[in-house]
């Protein structure tokens, strides 16, 4: 048995530790990470639609379940289940278009916007503290390495899927 950990194992352990801490970090708002991410995506999409508002269209500023599913890379039933939970909490609402009542958009409510802002502020304060402790140089190095890792992982996945 190998006494010294391989670099691969050390890298995986470090990534696992970060993921565990990240899922709990800086948020007291009693909202699961997945729900927070979904709300954040809806908010970004709503903001983008608001700035590109085309007054001739009768389309609400939210996202369809299929769009959320595609963007978040999770199944539509999983998205629907999360939307139901968020709707029960009063954070999102389903809005139908006037032209086609079969099409439903998921939009943040005012309460959803407030909780999203609160959790985002908490997480940003946590992130700012990390940056303060790391310092500018190490933070820049970490950003560079994370971006490089992202690119490498993408390249490997592309190479494997093209075989």
Residue 58 falls inside a structural domain: yes
125: domain CATH number is 1.10.10.10
CB-based burial label for 105 (10 Å; 0-12, 13-18, 19+): buried
| The pair of three-digit structure tokens given for residue 138, joined into one six-digit string | 């190490």
Strand-pair category, 104-108 with 92-96: antiparallel
Decide if 72 contacts 61 (C-beta within 8 A).
no
Q: Is residue 118 assigned to a domain?
A: yes
Whole-prediction pTM: 0.75
Rounded Cα gap, residues 111 and 117, in angstroms: 10
Q: Does residue 19 belong to any structural domain of this protein?
A: no
Q: Determine, yes or no, domain membership for 146.
A: no
Residue 116 structural domain: 28-134
In a domain, 21, yes or no: no
In a domain, 86, yes or no: yes
45 domain-assigned: yes
10-residue stretch averages of pLDDT, the chain, 163 residues long: 76 88 59 90 86 59 92 93 96 89 92 94 91 97 95 94 85
Instruction: Specify the pLDDT at position 1.
Output: 47
Residue 139 belongs to a domain: no
For the chain, how many structural domains are there in total? 1
């Amino acid at each position: 048995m190998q006494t010294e950990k391989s670099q691969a194992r050390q890298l995986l352990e470090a990534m696992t530790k970060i993921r565990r801490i990240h899922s709990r970090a800086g948020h007291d708002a009693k909202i699961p990470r997945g729900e927070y991410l979904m709300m954040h995506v809806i908010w970004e999409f709503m903001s983008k639609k608001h700035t590109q508002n085309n007054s001739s269209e009768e389309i609400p500023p939210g996202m369809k379940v299929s769009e959320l599913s595609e963007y978040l890379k999770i199944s539509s039933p999983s998205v629907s289940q999360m939307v139901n939970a968020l709707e029960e909490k009063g954070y999102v609402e389903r809005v139908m278009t006037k032209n086609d009542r079969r099409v439903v958009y998921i939009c943040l409510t005012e309460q959803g916007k407030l909780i999203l802002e609160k959790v985002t502020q908490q997480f940003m304060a946590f992130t700012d503290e990390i940056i303060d402790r790391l310092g500018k140089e190490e933070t820049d190095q970490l950003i560079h390495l994370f971006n490089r890792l992202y690119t490498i992982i993408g390249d490997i996945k592309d190479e494997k899927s093209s075989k």
